[in-house]
């Protein structure tokens, strides 16, 4: 398949800009609750690994859902620009997935780049609202949120919304990076780290519905009577 060099300035100049309201959520959100049943590896997030990151502490204070308005070009427009029509599920070369490569290098990839993928059918669907985003809440992306360009995949775990985007590849199989193949997969409690077979599960994409009370915690002590509560509910993917 041919290679195309499409610069950040070209994306801004040649393609229409869209605004998409999306709440990004870490796949490890509420991992502490899972560990109450059986200890799991990973950062012990409670209920606030959701939103744009910098506002999660505000959510814990009941200041509202940290949802952002992302601005950028639709990935479906970008792919059409290089010859892949909208609503394509497989290319004539057998490509079925879109892989995103970050400039960010990580130890989990043995010093290689962070990477992830989504199905081509999702990437080429304009109604899926997958963005190559360069703005957040009306301002240019800052460094922590992926400047100058990042992917935003609504209704999918945050691990697929790759920041600091460098390359996009059309590939036949799912991305073979560690965070697609040996992390962010769901297994039953009977599976342990000494008997896990990663190949038996597909990479996690969707979330179940998340319903959380933010203003009270499990250990909170309250007086009898009426209590004001701050809470949120989020639906993602096709699970709601």
59 assigned to some structural domain: yes
The range of the structural domain enclosing residue 109 comes to: 8-187+200-234
Determine the pLDDT at residue 63: 32
CATH code assigned at 111: 3.90.420.10
DSSP 164-203: SEEEEEEESS---SHHHHSSS----TT--TTT--GGGSPP
The Cα 87–Cα 104 span in angstroms is 30
Cβ atoms < 10 Å from Cβ of 226: 5
Residue 28: what pLDDT? 77
In a domain, 239, yes or no: no
How many domains does the chain contain in total? 1
- Confidence (pLDDT) at 89: 98
- Alpha helices (H) in the chain, listed in sequence order: 8-14, 31-35, 56-60, 75-81, 120-123, 178-181
Q: Rounded to two decimals, what is the model's pTM?
A: 0.85
pLDDT of residue 34: 74
> Which residues in the chain come in under a pLDDT of 70?
1, 45, 48-49, 51-66, 236-240
Does residue 21 lie in a domain region? Answer: yes
């Amino acid at each position: 398949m041919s290679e195309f060099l499409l610069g950040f300035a070209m994306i801004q100049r040649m393609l229409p800009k869209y605004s998409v309201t999306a709440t990004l959520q870490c796949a490890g959100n509420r991992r502490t609750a899972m560990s109450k049943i059986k200890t799991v590896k990973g950062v012990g997030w409670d209920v606030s690994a959701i939103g744009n990151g910098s506002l999660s502490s505000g959510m814990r204070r009941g200041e509202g859902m940290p949802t952002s308005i992302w601005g950028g070009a639709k990935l479906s427009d970008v792919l059409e620009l290089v010859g892949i029509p909208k609503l394509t599920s497989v290319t004539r070369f057998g490509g079925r997935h879109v892989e995103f490569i970050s400039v960010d290098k990580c130890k989990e990839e043995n010093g290689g780049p962070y990477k992830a993928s989504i199905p081509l059918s999702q990437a080429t669907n304009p109604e899926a609202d997958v963005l190559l985003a360069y703005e957040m809440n009306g301002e240019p992306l800052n460094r922590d949120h992926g400047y100058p360009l990042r992917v935003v995949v609504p209704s999918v775990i945050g691990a697929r919304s790759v920041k600091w985007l460098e390359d996009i590849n059309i590939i036949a199989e799912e991305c073979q990076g560690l965070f697609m193949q040996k992390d962010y997969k769901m297994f039953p409690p009977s599976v342990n780290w000494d008997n896990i077979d990663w190949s038996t599960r597909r990479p996690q994409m969707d979330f179940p519905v998340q319903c959380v009370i933010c203003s009270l915690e499990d250990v909170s002590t309250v007086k009898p009577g009426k209590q004001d509560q701050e809470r949120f509910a989020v639906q993602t993917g096709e699970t709601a």
